[in-house]
DNA sequence: CGGTTGATTGATCGAGATCAACGTGCGTGG
DNA sequence: CCACGCACGTTGATCTCGATCAATCAACCG
């Protein structure tokens, strides 16, 4: 699971926008003329299928950038999953900052590759354990996680169903690895146990950040 | 499934090397001081697990580059899956070519994301159909494919077992979508049928290349 | 309060994994 | 040139994890 997150410092912010929970930021096919940096809230990047299924490719939390793509059109949907404030960068000026963009793209590649390995080879409980571990790392190593996303979002990210995610969380709770104050507020009681449940693919903890 | 492949033109080749089938090019943990461009043969990039399992992240065919990563150490293994000739680039001089590197990284990100969606949401036969379609596109749209990789490699790439891959291929053969001259030589009899079996996620055909 | 949305729990089903033979080339040495 | 051996691939039988179908429960809000 990815742990490092690029937080590039790119000047010349075009504007700051606020999105409501559920609001679309861009759609598949939209022009890739901007990219974004979350300042508060959380964003979901996903593909939606004809049959209503969805694969979430990434979540983006405060400080993280998204929306940068190679082609002229977006290949995914981006939506706010909570009330979200973002800085918007015009693509043109941003092109001047090649080193930052490169770091961003490489980071995106690595995160997608790690995600791929998890989806391809880990069991349901390993995916959920890894998800919580990753989220904890991204939130600065905190043991109390406030999940911005619903169970459905988590399921779509981990390529599971909502029921399977729920059962995995229940099992973690029964094993006293985590505790729930609320369905969306997770307390990691035993970080070592959680990490050992991640199977291989476990990123040791890595609080390092770029940017 | 990814279709576009960056074939960057980066001068200053350090050297040309030849690897035998099965030979390791780099290992997880090795320094990321070089990157490579295949001139003939094929390369497999994968992660190996403690339990012997493997997830193939990508295959690289003639013209394609690989081995570029952000951190100081490789996160995957790269091996030749056939006798392979490659150009080797030193990382230092390559850093001068930011636009090419950016294209490379973005392409890698997009390929990994598409792969992720396939692994996460497609059925076994859809994955295999997509794999063959993608390979055909990468080989220039030819209908006769010579597979450089074994069934095990394909299975590890698609996050399936060798048996499931074999059954999917048999089904495609029974439906007269493909024909096999040899286990490694596939003839696509009905490209439209093959594409329609790819489910969503089907890249229309896209013979476009960068570089 | 009841209504609504999101999460959990339970019962059953099924695609693909696993376990186990069986084929088929293909290279090597007699 | 053929027999043997081995690696790779296919096919079959069974099992299992997670999907699906179906209630039930918990928060939140009018």
pLDDT digits (tens, 9 = 90+) for A21-44: 999 999 999 999 999 999 999 999
Looking at residue B2, its pLDDT comes to 40
Is the pLDDT at B211 greater than 50? The verdict is no
The reply to whether B185 has its C-beta less than 7 Å from any atom of strand D is no
In terms of domains, do B79 and B119 share one? no
Contact assignment for A107 to B70 by CB distance below 8 Å: yes
Looking at residue A70, its pLDDT comes to 85
Range with lowest mean pLDDT among A45-49, B50-54, B118-122, B162-166: B50-54
d(C-alpha A81, C-alpha A103), whole Å: 26
In terms of domains, do B89 and B135 share one? no
d(C-alpha B117, C-alpha B22), whole Å: 29
Residue B1, domain member (yes or no): no
The 3-state secondary structure of chain B reads CCCCCECCCCCCCCEEEEECCCCEEECCCCECCEEEEEEECCEEEEEECCCCCEEEEEEECCCCEECCCCCCECCCEEEECCCEEEEEEEHHHHCCCHHHHHHHHHHHHHHHHHHHHHHHHCCHHHHHHHHHHHHHHHCCCCCEEECCCCHHHHHHHHCCCHHHHHHHHHHHHHCCCEEEEECCEEEECCHHHHHHCCCCCCCCCCCCCEC
Looking at residue A3, its pLDDT comes to 39
Name chain B contacts of A121, Cβ cutoff 8 Å.
49, 53, 55, 159
Q: What is the CATH number of the domain that holds A122?
A: 1.10.10.10
Residue A179, classed as helix, strand or coil, is strand
d(C-alpha B137, C-alpha B111), whole Å: 14
Range with lowest mean pLDDT among B63-67, B87-91, B200-204: B200-204
B74-90 tens-digit pLDDT: 999 999 999 999 999 88
In terms of domains, do A127 and A90 share one? no
Looking at residue B210, its pLDDT comes to 33
In terms of domains, do B185 and B118 share one? yes
Q: With contact defined as beta carbons under 8 Å apart, do A211 and A11 qualify?
A: no
Joined tokens for residue B73:
């150490």
Is the pLDDT at B186 greater than 70? The verdict is yes
Residue A27, domain member (yes or no): yes
d(C-alpha B5, C-alpha A135), whole Å: 32
In terms of domains, do A88 and A138 share one? no
* Residues B65, A118, B125: CA angle, nearest 5 degrees: 80
In terms of domains, do A132 and A187 share one? yes
In terms of domains, do B24 and B50 share one? yes
Tell how far CA A165 is from the center of its chain. 16
In terms of domains, do A89 and A25 share one? yes
Looking at residue B83, its pLDDT comes to 93
Residue B183, domain member (yes or no): yes
Cα-Cα-Cα-Cα torsion B125, B129, B134, B140, nearest 10 degrees, comes to: 160
- The stretch B63-77 carries a mean pLDDT of 93
Looking at residue A170, its pLDDT comes to 98
Residue B105, domain member (yes or no): no
Name chain A contacts of B116, Cβ cutoff 8 Å.
55, 57, 112, 115-116, 119
Residue A151, domain member (yes or no): yes
Looking at residue B132, its pLDDT comes to 98
CA of A164 to C1' of D18 (A): 7
Is the pLDDT at B167 greater than 90? The verdict is yes
Q: Chain B within 8 Å of A75 (Cβ-Cβ)?
A: yes
Q: What is the CATH number of the domain that holds B41?
A: 2.60.120.10
Domain end: A97, A132, A159, which one? A97
Domain end: B68, B97, B126, which one? B97
- Selected for mutation to probe chain A from B102, B126, B158, B196 (highest A CB count within 10 Å) is B102
Tell me which chain B residue has its CA closest to the CA of residue A108: B109
Residue-range definition of the domain harbouring residue A88:
15-97
- Region of A41 on the Ramachandran plot (φ > 0 left; ψ -120 to 50 alpha; else beta): left
Joined tokens for residue B87:
């150009």
In terms of domains, do B81 and B125 share one? no
The reply to whether B169 has its C-beta less than 7 Å from any atom of strand D is yes
Which pLDDT band, with edges at 50, 70 and 90, does B208 fall under? very low
d(C-alpha B27, C-alpha B76), whole Å: 6
In terms of domains, do A25 and A91 share one? yes
Is the pLDDT at B154 greater than 90? The verdict is yes
Joined tokens for residue A211:
């940017």
CA distance A33 to chain B (A): 15
Name chain B contacts of A105, Cβ cutoff 8 Å.
102, 105-106, 108-109
Looking at residue A4, its pLDDT comes to 45
Contact assignment for B55 to A99 by CB distance below 8 Å: no
Q: Count of alpha carbons within 13 Å of A152, Cβ hemisphere only?
A: 5
Q: How many domains does chain B fold into? A: 2
Residue A107, domain member (yes or no): no
Average pLDDT over chain B, rounded to whole?
A: 89
Among candidate residues B29, B11, B23, the one with its CA nearest the CA of residue B90: B11
Looking at residue A7, its pLDDT comes to 53
Domain end: B62, B97, B132, which one? B97
In terms of domains, do B75 and B144 share one? no
pLDDT < 70: residue spans in chain A: 1-13, 201-211
Flag residues 144-173 of A with CB < 7 Å from strand C: 150-152, 162-163, 165-167, 169-170
Nearest nucleotide over every DNA/RNA strand to the A123 CA, judged by C1' = D17
CA of A25 to C1' of C2 (A): 36
- The stretch B172-187 carries a mean pLDDT of 96
d(C-alpha A162, C-alpha A174), whole Å: 18
Residue B5, domain member (yes or no): no
Within chain A, residue ranges assigned H as helices are 91-94, 98-121, 124-138, 151-158, 162-174, 191-196
Looking at residue A205, its pLDDT comes to 41
Is the pLDDT at B12 greater than 70? The verdict is no
Residue B69, domain member (yes or no): yes
Q: Which long-range contacts (CB under 8 A, 24 or more apart) does A185-193 make?
A: A185/A144, A185/A145, A185/A146, A185/A147, A186/A132, A186/A144, A186/A145, A186/A147, A187/A143, A187/A144, A187/A145, A188/A132, A188/A136, A188/A143, A188/A144, A188/A145, A191/A133, A191/A136, A191/A143
Joined tokens for residue B51:
């339990």
d(C-alpha B125, C-alpha A88), whole Å: 41
In terms of domains, do B28 and B90 share one? yes
Among candidate residues A116, A117, A153, the one with its CA nearest the CA of residue A135: A153
Contact assignment for B102 to A98 by CB distance below 8 Å: yes
């Amino acid at each position: 699971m990815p742990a490092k997150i690029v937080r590039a410092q790119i000047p010349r912010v075009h504007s700051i926008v606020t999105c409501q929970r559920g609001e679309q930021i861009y759609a598949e096919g939209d022009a890739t003329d901007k990219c974004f940096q979350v300042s508060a809230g959380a964003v979901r990047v996903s593909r939606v299928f004809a049959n209503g299924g969805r694969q979430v490719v990434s979540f983006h939390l405060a400080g993280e950038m998204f929306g940068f793509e190679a082609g002229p059109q977006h290949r995914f949907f981006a939506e706010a999953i909570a009330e979200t404030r973002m800085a918007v960068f015009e693509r043109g000026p941003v092109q001047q900052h090649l080193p930052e963009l490169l770091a961003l793209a490489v980071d995106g590649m690595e995160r997608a590759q790690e995600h791929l390995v998890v989806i391809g080879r880990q069991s349901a409980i390993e995916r959920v354990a890894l998800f919580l571990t990753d989220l904890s790392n991204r939130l600065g190593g905190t043991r109390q996680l406030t999940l911005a996303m619903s169970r459905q979002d988590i399921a779509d990210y981990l390529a599971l169903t909502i029921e399977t995610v729920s059962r995995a969380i229940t099992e973690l709770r029964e094993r006293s690895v985590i505790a729930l104050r609320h369905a969306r507020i997770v307390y990691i009681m035993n970080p070592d146990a959680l990490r050992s449940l991640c199977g291989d693919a476990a990123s040791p903890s890595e609080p390092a950040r770029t940017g």
